């Protein structure tokens, strides 16, 4: 088999890249380790920046997103019993975010790839890149028990944090920067009306909580738990009690509870790998960097990587220009680090840090009071939350 661009990973990064390349006449094949049902069953992000939305429109996949996505012009921070609304639209000169689940984004991407006969090979096992430092790299993999080979010009690692592509870069080339937080998020999806029409990020005695949503009858809630905690120890009753203790009493009083239709724990981590290119291998999305979900930046960062990389590949194929590819790593990392900073800051403001009570709690209180009283601080939050420019 031969294609121009071999893409490892059929999450949002890989699918979006293959769609954008296809529309410009560049061929690609996506190799995904899991089944399609598994990929479509994952519940993750919910908040899309305008840059992400525009990329979906550019890729011709925005019809359902524009119909069903909800525009949010503000976001709320609750600190114990106090509540602060950040006027995203007013503070950023008209910018907003959209609430539309990653599950729906992935569904729309698969549908678009299918409609154009896009090559997405699922359940591709043992994907292994070869000759990445040559002009003729290739990938080997196993499909239905048979050994396959895919020859290509470039290999793009879109295979998430646990993928193999980043591990192909020699350790004397790749530098990694990491912070693992001493807690995770327990997320619950419930078929109940959301407690609030806008998101509420909350800090209370029991730690962090987030009230988010997917639709008028579908809510998404998170509470802070220990990093290694199993969701099995959390009955629905225990979850709702914890959530109520982590949000202001007036919000808890109108919370509608119900059975959880999904429950999972995600660890929190900040991670960046540098550089994002090694020979003919390029890294994008979670394969290259992880942010804690507090700033809603992970999927949105994947989109800016893909925007830079798709235009660089198109320039290479259409105009024979290598500048975009040569500059990709530095360009993408400049935006990545700003999102890392913001996500770390939101995480630090809103979680209970068990090892840092006392001084740390007072600093969080001071940070919240400063935010509540300073338009400059609120503008900082707003312009990062809606997304820094590409």
The single residue among 22, 72, 166, 220 that binds ligand PHB, judged by CB under 6 A, is 220
188 touching ligand RFL, by CB under 6 A? no
We find the least distance from the C-beta atom of residue 44 to ligand RFL, in angstroms, to be: 3
Sorted by sequence, the CB contacts under 8 Å of residue 31 that are 6+ apart come out as 6, 7, 8, 9, 10, 121, 124, 127, 139, 141, 150
What is the C-alpha to C-alpha distance for residues 116 and 28, in angstroms, rounded to an integer? 12
Rounded to 5 degrees, what angle do the CA atoms 189, 354, 181 make?
60
What is the C-alpha to C-alpha distance for residues 173 and 63, in angstroms, rounded to an integer? 42
Of 212, 189, 238, 210, nearest to 347 by C-alpha is 210
We find the least distance from the C-beta atom of residue 388 to ligand PHB, in angstroms, to be: 16
What is the C-alpha to C-alpha distance for residues 144 and 56, in angstroms, rounded to an integer? 32
* Residue range at the interface with ligand PHB (CB under 6 A); choices 3-11, 40-48, 90-98, 356-364: 40-48
31 touching ligand RFL, by CB under 6 A? yes
Greatest alpha-carbon span in the chain: 64
Using CB distances below 5 to 8 A depending on partner kind, what does residue 31 bind out of ligand PHB, ligand RFL, none? Answer: ligand RFL
Annotation says 385 is catalytic: yes
The single residue among 118, 184, 187, 324 that binds ligand RFL, judged by CB under 6 A, is 187
What is the C-alpha to C-alpha distance for residues 101 and 196, in angstroms, rounded to an integer? 17
We find the least distance from the C-beta atom of residue 310 to ligand PHB, in angstroms, to be: 25
Sorted by sequence, the CB contacts under 8 Å of residue 213 that are 6+ apart come out as 46, 70, 99, 194, 197, 199, 219, 220
Annotation says 22 is catalytic: no
Residue 296, Ramachandran bin (φ over 0: left; ψ between -120 and 50: alpha; else beta) = left
Which residue among the candidates 201, 222, 308, 328 is catalytic per the annotation? 201
* Residue range at the interface with ligand RFL (CB under 6 A); choices 111-119, 294-302, 330-338, 377-385: 294-302
The single residue among 164, 174, 218, 388 that binds ligand RFL, judged by CB under 6 A, is 164
Residue closer to ligand PHB, measured from CB, 28 or 212: 212
Tokens of 92: 């950023």
* Residue range at the interface with ligand RFL (CB under 6 A); choices 81-89, 113-121, 295-303, 336-344: 295-303
Total chain residues near ligand RFL (CB under 6 A): 37
* Residue range at the interface with ligand PHB (CB under 6 A); choices 114-122, 130-138, 241-249, 290-298: 290-298
Site string for ligand RFL, 81-110 (x = CB under 6 A): ---------------------x--------
**Sign of the dihedral through C-alpha 288, 265, 32, 23:** negative
Site string for ligand RFL, 317-356 (x = CB under 6 A): ----------------------------------------
* Residue range at the interface with ligand PHB (CB under 6 A); choices 39-47, 157-165, 259-267, 365-373: 39-47
Query: 206-210 long-range CB contacts below 8 Å, 24 or more apart?
Result: 206/242, 206/245, 206/246, 206/352, 207/183, 207/246, 207/351, 207/352, 208/183, 208/246, 208/294, 208/350, 208/351, 208/352, 209/242, 209/243, 209/246, 209/247, 210/185
Annotation says 170 is catalytic: no
296 touching ligand PHB, by CB under 6 A? yes
| Length reported for the chain | 390
Find tokens 């639209």 and name the residue. 89
Q: What share of the chain is helix, strand, coil (3-state, %, to 5)?
A: 40, 30, 30
Residue closer to ligand PHB, measured from CB, 220 or 352: 220
Residue closer to ligand PHB, measured from CB, 46 or 137: 46
Which residue among the candidates 22, 244, 289, 297 is catalytic per the annotation? 297
We find the least distance from the C-beta atom of residue 305 to ligand RFL, in angstroms, to be: 8
- Determine how β-strand 82-86 pairs with β-strand 75-79: antiparallel
293 touching ligand PHB, by CB under 6 A? yes
The residues that are catalytic are 72, 201, 293, 297, 385
- Per CB under 6 A, residues contacting ligand PHB are 45-47, 199, 210, 212, 220, 293-294, 296
Q: Which stretches of the chain bind ligand RFL, using CB under 6 A?
A: 8-14, 31-34, 39, 44-47, 102, 124, 127, 158-160, 162-164, 185, 187, 266, 285-286, 293, 296-300, 302
């Amino acid at each position: 088999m031969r294609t121009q661009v071999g893409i490892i990973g059929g999450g949002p990064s890989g699918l979006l890249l293959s769609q954008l390349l296809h529309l410009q006449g560049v061929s690609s094949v996506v190799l995904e380790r899991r089944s399609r049902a598994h990929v479509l069953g994952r519940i993750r992000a919910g908040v899309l920046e305008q840059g992400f939305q525009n990329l979906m429109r550019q890729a011709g996949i925005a019809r359902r997103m524009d119909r069903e996505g909800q525009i949010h012009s503000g976001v709320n921070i609750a600190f114990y019993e106090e509540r602060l609304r950040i006027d995203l639209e007013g503070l950023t000169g008209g910018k907003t975010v959209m609430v539309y689940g990653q599950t729906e984004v992935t569904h729309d991407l698969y549908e678009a790839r299918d409609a154009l006969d896009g090559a997405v090979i699922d359940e591709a096992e043992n994907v292994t890149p070869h000759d990445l430092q040559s002009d003729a790299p290739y990938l080997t993999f196993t499909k239905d028990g048979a050994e396959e080979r895919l020859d290509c010009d470039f290999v793009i690692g879109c295979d998430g944090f646990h993928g193999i592509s980043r591990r192909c870069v020699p350790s004397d080339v790749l530098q990694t920067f990491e912070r693992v937080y001493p807690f995770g998020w327990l997320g619950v999806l419930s078929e109940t009306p959301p407690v609030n029409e806008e998101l509420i990020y909350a800090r209370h005695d029991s730690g962090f909580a987030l009230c988010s949503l997917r639709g008028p009858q579908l809510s998404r809630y998170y509470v802070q738990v220990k990093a290694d905690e199993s969701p099995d120890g959390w009955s629905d009753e225990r979850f709702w009690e914890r959530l109520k203790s982590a949000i202001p009493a007036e919000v808890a009083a109108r919370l509608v509870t119900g059975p959880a239709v999904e429950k999972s724990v995600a660890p929190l981590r900040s991670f960046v790998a540098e550089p994002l290119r090694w020979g003919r291998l390029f890294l994008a999305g979670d394969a290259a960097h992880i942010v804690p979900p507090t700033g809603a930046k992970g999927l949105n960062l994947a989109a800016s990587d893909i925007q830079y990389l798709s235009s660089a590949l198109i320039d290479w194929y259409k105009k024979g220009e290598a500048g975009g590819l040569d500059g990709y790593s530095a360009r993408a990392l400049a935006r990545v680090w700003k999102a890392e900073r913001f996500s770390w800051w939101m995480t630090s403001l809103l979680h209970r840090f068990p090892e840092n009570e006392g001084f740390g709690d007072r600093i969080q209180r001071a940070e919240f009071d400063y935010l509540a009283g300073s338009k400059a601080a609120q503008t900082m939050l707003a312009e990062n939350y809606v997304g820094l420019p590409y």
